[in-house]
Structure 1
Amino acid sequence: MTHRVINRIIAVILFLVAELLYLRTMAPTLSFWDCGEFIATAYTLGIPHPPGAPLFLLLGRLFSMIPFFSDIGARVNLISTLASSATVMLTYLITLRFIILYRKSDPDGWSSSEKVSAYGSSVIAALALAFSDSFWFNAVEAEVYALSSLFTALVTWLMLRWYDDDPLPGNERWLMAVMYIIGLSIGVHLLSLLALFAVAMVYCFKKYEVTPRSVALFVVGSSGLFILIYQIIIKGLPVLLQWSSWSGFFVLAMLLVSGIWYTHSKRLVLLNTLVVSLLLIVIGYTSYGMIFIRAQAGPPINENNPSTPEAFYSYLNRDQYGEMPLWPRRWSPEPVHQYFYQQYSSDLDYFLSYQLNHMYLRYLGWQFIGREHDMEGAGVDWSVLWGLPFLFGFAGAVAHFRRQWKMGLVVTALFILTGAALVIYLNQTEPQPRERDYSYVGSFFAFAIWIGIGVETLLHVMAERLKLQAERHRLALALLTVTAALLLINGKMLQANYRMHDRSGNYVPWDWAWNMLQSCDKDAILFTNGDNDTFPLWYLQEVERIRTDVRVVNLSLANTGWYLQQLKNTSPRGAKTVAFGMGDGELASITYEPLDSVEVSVPAAKASRELLQESRLQGITLASVPPETMQWVMKPTVMFEGLGYLRPQDRAVYEIVTSNFPQRSIYFALTVDTESMIGLEKNLRLDGLAYKVVPNKSSDPMSNVNPALLYHKLLGVYRYHNLDNPEISLEETSRRLCANYSPLFIRLALALADDPEASLRVEGKSGLAVLKKRSAMALEVLNTASVLLPPDRYPLNPELAGTVTALYARLGEKKKAYPYIAYLEKLVKTTDLHTDPRLFYMLAGAYRAIGREQDALRVITLLSRELQEPRLLEEFEKMKE
């Protein structure tokens, strides 16, 4: 077979293999972080966070209408699997093209050993990218990074096609395709724009000899082209719209068309190519018109409301996030950032230790050396991949420069600009809300190319050193080496990363959103904290039309005037507007407000009557009679130069509570921190994944529960797909949020066991009220938690494990406490007694609860002796009495 046929067959096979892998491990619905937002805005053609991704949204809308899967989220996820598979295929083609270029021979004239070496090494490069940690992560969820990686690879491949065709007639079409793809990529993510310098380098190496003059020309030309695209087109066109409306665009289009006609008529080939390219970039960029047009339609998700030229410019310019200077590196005045900055001796130390090492080199190590574990903050572990991918990649980089330094420089430019240079530009603060490895996939793509070149170079060197003359010997060496590399590099990467990135069966984000929304009364207002307790809820409301009556108020967005105005004036999906005591003008200009501690009073007669009626119907005795007025003290949430201030979000919470309570139920998501509750933390009742604002006070909101209501929510309404299935792999974010469920079950069991002989009236499966004995309910709750959330899979606070043990003992089911005893014993084995003596004390208490008195005495004696505290033994004996 000819090279062309073999090449195409291998490329197609690689695409199919990657696609099957990604489909097998793809999330079956939405995932956490931005995925819910992107799916929801794609389905409704809404406006996501700045600067938006209009091309991705348009593709998402298209894919959402094609019935590949019943779940809309899965349909949009398919974009990422297809884009990633195509990127894997292009990585193979690009790596092979580089090998052909430095071999300087016709592939159809290659011997069998040379074909195995070149094709096999290129396959290894492609699979190294396919199985790498961050690339795989992006491939199985609805995010923009997989599509952005495809554009980066496509631009690189198209430029190499031009390099092959020049100076044949029509070669300019490849350049124009490159520019159009760059224009399109702007509508997905600006990361692809960084490939522009590598593109310019390929052009210069083809057209000019390397001289000081040509180098200067490259630097000026590539920088000028980048500025032209980024500053003039991307940032300048919105300014043009702002100052001249659509007439400016018409004039610009006419100028470009006239320029094309003039340069063509005058045979100015280079200038004509440049002007056509600019027009194609602008055409690709016009996908952003969707943002401006849809914002004026007022979709339910309309972040920043970029419906005017001024707002549209602000949206594209990311004004909401403020400026991030390149220097100093420790630039943020936020107290939390200042605390971490103090741990570094200088800006340079901060840059090298945190920004470069922790936030980039560590990620590079994850891909090609090995990731320690899947938890946040994981380090690099050489024992996972034995460092083989990294060593071959490093050797490949050196070999690429030795065998063809020009193309080696091209890959180096791509590697640095999408890696270390991006680190410099982003100037990230410490701490970050999540790992940022997904941002550097372009750099990992470049390194994967070098892995393939490293394998091919090893074969070349071995054949030369062994002086193998016979073709059969060379072929045997090539087959053996490629097979070994496939197993030791790609096989090891697949083995290490498969379970970590297998999201099949993971419905935690969907269930989390369902459970949180179902925690709320009809027409409730729910305050949420960040991405993971907001975007999944948006998905359920906008895509699946579930509980659209609940108004979700994101506290981060509540710092912005446009968002508060939308809450006040819009009714998405028929939901009620949110009342404010402030006018639109005041909301638009909301800012930090000076405040001393102030006592707030709100009429609460309606809420108090409802609490009393609810308790009588369910057979619950309230700790105190709910007051007619709800009172609390609101304190400053931030301090500056000795003065207290309210953040805009705090003022918004105050306005919403005082203007809507008690007419509407108000909730705080379980994930909201207490400093965002404006002093209401004692007026909260635990209703599941949300705290409800109630007029009566309690010392701890976790201890203030309505057991009948919470029982109905946890066992009758909430969903827990696959939580009890050990075959399903849950990533770190899902596991961390699932850890919120165990305390709910245990808190409910405690409340029920407080009066075990009494009965409660709860809602049954038929919807009718039924009487149940509290002790039986408590036991049912504990048993359900043990099955759904076994401690060996979902670690819980040791104190809670001890509580479960004591509860089972009180309810006469000591044997069911054994898994929790085993859990505590496992913790004790890996804990230093002097570091955490309380853990040992809890184990002793758990032993005593189930009647293992000798074991309890043994642990306490050890504790007393090691800590030199003889009274511990005496106190423990007194507790027995």
Structure 2
Amino acid sequence: MKSNYKLVNNVLGWLAFAIAAVTYLFTIEPTASLWDCGEFITTAHGLEVGHPPGAPLFMIMARFFSLFAPGPSQVALMVNVMSALASAFTIIFLFWSITHLAKRLVSGESEMSKGNLFAIMGAGLVGALAYTFSDTFWFSAVEGEVYASSSLFTAVVFWAILKWEEVADEKYANRWIILIAYLMGLSIGVHLLNLLAIPAIVFVYYFKKYEPTKKGVALAFLLSVAILGVIMYGVIPGVVTIASWFELLFVNGFGLPYNTGVIIYALLLLSAVVWAIRYSVKKNMVILNTIVTAFMVIVIGYSSFAMIVIRSSANPPMDENNPDNVFALLSYLNREQYGDRPLVYGEYYNAPAVDLVSTSPVYIQKNKKYVIASHKQKYKFDPRFETFFPRMYSSRANHVKEYEFWGDVKKNNPISLSNGDVVYKPSFASNLEFFFRYQVVHMYWRYFMWNFVGRQNDIQGNGDILHGNWLSGIPVVDEMFLGNQDKLYPEMKNKKSRNTYYFLPFLLGLIGLLYQWKAGKNGKHDFWVVMLLFLFTGLAIVVYLNQTPFQPRERDYAYAGSFYAFAIWIGLGVMGLYHVAKKKLPALVSAGLVTTVCLLAVPTLMAQQNWDDHDRSGRYATLAYAKDYLNSCAKDAILFTYGDNDTFPLWYAQEVEGIRRDIRIVNLSLLAGDWYINQMRKKAYDSDPIPMQLTADKVEPGIRDQIPVMDRLKDSEPLQEMIKFVSSDNKGTMVEMQSGRSLDYFPGRTVYLPVDSAQVIANGTVRPEDAGLIKKKLEWKIKRNYLYKNDIMVYDIIASNNWKRPIYFSVGMGASSFLGLDKFFQLEGATYRLVPIETKTQGMEIGHINSELLYNNLMNKFDFGRIKEPDVYMDQFHILTVNIMSFRTTFNRLASALNDEGKKEKAVKVLDKCMEELPTDKIPFDNTLIGFIQEYYRAGATKKANKLLEDMAQQSYDKLNYYLSLENRFGNNFRTQQEREIRVVQMLLGLADMGEQTKLKEDIQKRFELLFGSYTK
């Protein structure tokens, strides 16, 4: 039976792999996805340098897969295939891990019976397939991101320690330990999640080699944490830190060429390891040999980061942070550009800063040496406002408000400051309440429940009961937390991301957890191994991340390892049910029955519920969005963008698929870095360098990071002169400003940009018929008290460009990023062009409209990525991030302009085009459609206006019916939503008046009167 077990185990493992592979390959996105995917695919395809801390091994593997792409447009598909296959291999190793642990639960029996064999294989299939179809893992499995590959490394190392356990007493068994160390070293080049399996691995070793005692367990736990800490905070930064010491000594001290110290250090490290290995072999010191060898293979795996330095030295078009030397690499690995967060001890959010201190130096290469450009700076806070285990530390206003809500902060602990102010100090109880309520429950347990109980919808939730919660499908339970779901309006009720599992995966996992705990010595030992994996990839990450409120996206992907561990218990739940069933039925019948029922009740149910919202096979929206941005720009444009989703898809479209390489994309958040500014000075593909007045030495780290803006008595100054001043090195500036003798050394609030009318008409910035609208100069007021380096550089680029190249801003930016220039914008599609025409901003309506140009872009150039097709699901982030709502606004504004010009037929075509490409059954109703109704009426398309008005009224009716039903359960918490919908209805009634639709207005009024009347009664 032993040989049969091995054969069946292998065959069914590959069956689980095949099911997962087919699932993921059928549902992968055919092009780049949102968030970091566009950047990862781009860096892999060109072996370029992405954001810190980098993923060089992922880039190498993805580059290999991209070689099989028939053409540039299939590169993203092949990288996504890599993720799909990595995820499928994760499933096969999960299957084998579950069967190993399940087999140990019956190891006390004399032989492997058919019933036991069937049950063990059933456990493996149920657990592995449950994870296959789980929400979080499936999401990462079908896109070109690091999390799929990272999960594979975690699965393999956990499986490998179980294989070691089988042969632990045999000769050469430690080869498995060395393999695990090497895989962990490699995994650093993908993601650090894999390292969190170390405590589980240590306990497998401990339980196998030692008789457990309380003291031994405690020491094993401390050792596991120590090993984890040594690798994360010692090996990873330490190897590079020591290299930097050698580099500084040999270059600055001995005057040798760059990288001499690194090479000598590498040779010394290698020599020391070789000596230690030879010594341990000679002295027969097995433990020392294992430790040194493990360290060496970790470093060998970690050496994939050499590619980051090598490729950065080649100055590719994408070279984030420019880590071409050991000091820049160390900053890159430490993710210094993202700032720091307190973990063990630190400040509360309202802690007064008492000092700004300089810390470690920032070195740059200059004149054949390493020169200190500046020092990193750090605030010191009033120690009375510091605490152990700080959870509420961010001082951002919107974070503070949420801290006080989630932590139920009572302002009853006032502390007097030296300046006479009184500031309350949050209590440690509030600190812990925020930790448990927000970080543990909302940012972990909620995700856990998504995967094993059900999910309300894919709209990001911030604590309200309408969005992003878990949902079971059991009416009594759901009503307790979310209100009467029978009253839920169709838009939410019919959402494909509304998935319910009726607690079945959760309950089966709970059975497996309890059964493993109760199943004798082997079971209890394995229980603690799985529990450590579960906790360290779950709650430990919660503590480490120390997340603030209002995260930019849901963070469930960070906890995929924890859900992996729970999937093991789901599999073992089959063994628990089998153990009960075989007391009343024959063992083989029990195994078959339990396996069949569990397969249907858990993985099959999860697949059925999750398929429609995890199937991305027909979605091209992200690429279409990038094309629309690029094709909204004139030739050789400079396009300012902001944020990940505003930039990464455009990078992908340009660098991988070669779309509109004449445009230079300038990311405002990166423009604060000297490395990025200097990259903009170089030619990239078909885009010429961007002219700037500030030279490289004027934007070095720590220089001109922040410039004060002063009120002036004199008139406005030319933008060129302001930049000229900022570039000056006048050392007396601060003294003179403080003495009040001269404020002329500081930028004033009012600046202007001169305009050459003939030039802007000749180069197409302004069409000849708009010549009368051209301003002689663009004059605006700087409303901020400080200009940061990226703001200064935007002004520098605009001034230095002097109307030669078209300049655009993304419509996805916030208004503050426009730096006061928005009144000189022209809306040209997905971008605003800077033009010398002043237009008054009205609410969200920014910019002048050239209806002919905008019509051509929207009607002939825009691509909508198959959004309207039945097989395409648009999740909430695509709806928000791909700026579909702003596209609707753009269509509406164009229709309004065409109506103003008397071109009613074209106005109707514009509105019809938007309704066709962005249908309301895919993209929810929103207030921009109110404008559509108005423009339909103005264009004489009464039937279309009436139909849309009726549909919107019905939508508001359904929403109000739901909100009113919640008052009985949750009081007046939904009054804001009610008032919003009432305002919508009032606007619709006004539009009915405008269209002279008296009967329609009366019908709508009557329905809403009945609705409110029924709830009043």
| 1:150 and 2:291 are equivalent in the alignment | no
SS in 2 for 1:534: helix
Aligned with 2:676 (options 563, 566, 569): 563
Which residue does the alignment assign to 1:370? 454
Question: Structure 2 counterpart of 1:601, which letter?
Answer: Y
Which residue does the alignment assign to 2:424? none
Question: Structure 2 counterpart of 1:694, which letter?
Answer: V
Distance (whole Å) between structure 2 residues aligned to residue 227 and residue 845 of structure 1: 65
Which residue does the alignment assign to 1:35? 37
Q: 1:341 to 1:834 in 2, by over 3 A?
A: closer
Contact 1:837 1:863 (8 Å CA) reproduced: no
Aligned with 2:470 (options 380, 386, 406): 380
Between stretches 570-579 and 367-376, larger displacement belongs to: 570-579
Distance (whole Å) between structure 2 residues aligned to residue 18 and residue 284 of structure 1: 28
Deviation at 1:842, TM superposition (A): 2.4
Aligned with 2:294 (options 268, 273, 277): 277
Which residue does the alignment assign to 2:910? 781
Aligned with 2:688 (options 558, 566, 576): 576
Contact 2:31 2:76 (8 Å CA) reproduced: yes
Deviation at 1:276, TM superposition (A): 1.2
Deviation at 1:536, TM superposition (A): 0.5
| 1:679 and 2:824 are equivalent in the alignment | no
Aligned pairs (5 A) from 1:499-648: 499-567=612-680, 569-588=681-700, 589-596=703-710, 598-606=749-757, 609-610=760-761, 625-636=773-784, 644-648=785-789
Distance (whole Å) between structure 2 residues aligned to residue 140 and residue 570 of structure 1: 35
SS in 2 for 1:431: coil
Distance (whole Å) between structure 2 residues aligned to residue 777 and residue 866 of structure 1: 39
| 1:401 and 2:517 are equivalent in the alignment | yes
Contact 1:607 1:695 (8 Å CA) reproduced: no
Q: 1:418 to 1:614 in 2, by over 3 A?
A: closer
Q: 1:607 to 1:866 in 2, by over 3 A?
A: farther
**TM-score, normalised to structure 2's length?**
0.79
Contact 1:355 1:428 (8 Å CA) reproduced: yes
Deviation at 1:592, TM superposition (A): 2.4
| 1:84 and 2:87 are equivalent in the alignment | yes
Question: Structure 1 counterpart of 2:832, which letter?
Answer: Y
Distance (whole Å) between structure 2 residues aligned to residue 612 and residue 539 of structure 1: 29
Aligned with 1:290 (options 307, 314, 328): 307
Residue ranges of structure 2 left out of the alignment (5+ in a row): 247-261, 344-388, 410-429, 462-467, 474-499, 712-748, 961-977
SS in 1 for 2:751: strand
SS in 2 for 1:386: coil
Question: Structure 2 counterpart of 1:82, which letter?
Answer: L
| 1:300 and 2:317 are equivalent in the alignment | yes
Contact 1:606 1:662 (8 Å CA) reproduced: no
Which residue does the alignment assign to 1:201? 203
Aligned with 2:552 (options 424, 433, 447): 433
Deviation at 1:221, TM superposition (A): 3.0
Contact 1:840 1:863 (8 Å CA) reproduced: no
Aligned with 2:179 (options 177, 180, 197): 177
Distance (whole Å) between structure 1 residues aligned to residue 618 and residue 1009 of structure 2: 48
Q: 1:809 to 1:282 in 2, by over 3 A?
A: same
Question: Structure 1 counterpart of 2:559, which letter?
Answer: Y
Which residue does the alignment assign to 1:657? 798
Deviation at 1:627, TM superposition (A): 1.0
Contact 2:118 2:592 (8 Å CA) reproduced: yes
Deviation at 1:12, TM superposition (A): 0.8
Contact 2:765 2:835 (8 Å CA) reproduced: no
Contact 1:501 1:731 (8 Å CA) reproduced: no
Deviation at 1:858, TM superposition (A): 4.7
Between stretches 309-318 and 784-793, larger displacement belongs to: 784-793
Deviation at 1:863, TM superposition (A): 7.8
Deviation at 1:228, TM superposition (A): 3.0
Which residue does the alignment assign to 2:419? none
| 1:805 and 2:919 are equivalent in the alignment | no
Which residue does the alignment assign to 2:945? 817
Which residue does the alignment assign to 1:760? none
Distance (whole Å) between structure 2 residues aligned to residue 132 and residue 862 of structure 1: 42
Distance (whole Å) between structure 2 residues aligned to residue 839 and residue 264 of structure 1: 80
Aligned with 2:855 (options 699, 702, 711): 711
Between stretches 554-563 and 311-320, larger displacement belongs to: 554-563
Question: Structure 1 counterpart of 2:201, which letter?
Answer: V
**TM-score, normalised to structure 1's length?**
0.91
Contact 2:636 2:806 (8 Å CA) reproduced: yes
Q: 1:263 to 1:613 in 2, by over 3 A?
A: closer
Contact 1:703 1:747 (8 Å CA) reproduced: no
Question: Structure 2 counterpart of 1:579, which letter?
Answer: P
SS in 1 for 2:685: helix
Deviation at 1:270, TM superposition (A): 1.9
Which residue does the alignment assign to 2:105? 102
Question: Structure 1 counterpart of 2:177, which letter?
Answer: L
Residue correspondences, number: 832
Which residue does the alignment assign to 2:878? 734
Which residue does the alignment assign to 2:353? none
Deviation at 1:392, TM superposition (A): 1.4
Question: How much identity, in percent, do the aligned residues show?
Answer: 37
Deviation at 1:720, TM superposition (A): 1.6
Aligned with 2:563 (options 444, 447, 452): 444
Q: 1:788 to 1:818 in 2, by over 3 A?
A: farther
Distance (whole Å) between structure 2 residues aligned to residue 587 and residue 338 of structure 1: 33
Aligned with 1:339 (options 392, 401, 405): 401
Distance (whole Å) between structure 2 residues aligned to residue 740 and residue 379 of structure 1: 27
Q: 1:330 to 1:607 in 2, by over 3 A?
A: farther
Residue ranges of structure 1 left out of the alignment (5+ in a row): 637-643, 757-773, 869-881
SS in 1 for 2:10: helix
Question: Structure 1 counterpart of 2:705, which letter?
Answer: T
Contact 1:374 1:500 (8 Å CA) reproduced: no
Q: 1:842 to 1:175 in 2, by over 3 A?
A: same
| 1:422 and 2:541 are equivalent in the alignment | yes
Aligned with 1:410 (options 513, 529, 545): 529
For residues 692-744 of structure 1, the C-alpha deviation after alignment (integer angstroms, 9 at most, x for no partner) is 11111111254621110011101111112312212211222212222222111
For residues 224-269 of structure 1, the C-alpha deviation after alignment (integer angstroms, 9 at most, x for no partner) is 3223322332111111221222211111111111111111122112
SS in 2 for 1:30: coil
Q: 1:703 to 1:271 in 2, by over 3 A?
A: closer
Deviation at 1:220, TM superposition (A): 4.2
Distance (whole Å) between structure 1 residues aligned to residue 953 and residue 642 of structure 2: 36
SS in 1 for 2:579: helix
For residues 519-578 of structure 1, the C-alpha deviation after alignment (integer angstroms, 9 at most, x for no partner) is 1122211111111110001111111121122111112112222222222x3222242222
Distance (whole Å) between structure 1 residues aligned to residue 306 and residue 980 of structure 2: 60
Question: Structure 2 counterpart of 1:630, which letter?
Answer: L
Distance (whole Å) between structure 1 residues aligned to residue 33 and residue 469 of structure 2: 24
Contact 2:755 2:776 (8 Å CA) reproduced: yes
SS in 2 for 1:697: coil
| 1:691 and 2:832 are equivalent in the alignment | yes
| 1:323 and 2:340 are equivalent in the alignment | yes
Distance (whole Å) between structure 1 residues aligned to residue 77 and residue 1010 of structure 2: 59
Distance (whole Å) between structure 2 residues aligned to residue 223 and residue 253 of structure 1: 27
Deviation at 1:607, TM superposition (A): 7.7
Distance (whole Å) between structure 2 residues aligned to residue 252 and residue 613 of structure 1: 62
Aligned pairs (5 A) from 1:121-132: 121-132=123-134
Q: 1:611 to 1:394 in 2, by over 3 A?
A: farther
User: Cα RMSD over matched residues?
Assistant: 2.2
Contact 2:641 2:809 (8 Å CA) reproduced: yes
Question: Structure 1 counterpart of 2:606, which letter?
Answer: M
Distance (whole Å) between structure 2 residues aligned to residue 121 and residue 133 of structure 1: 20
Between stretches 486-495 and 333-342, larger displacement belongs to: 333-342
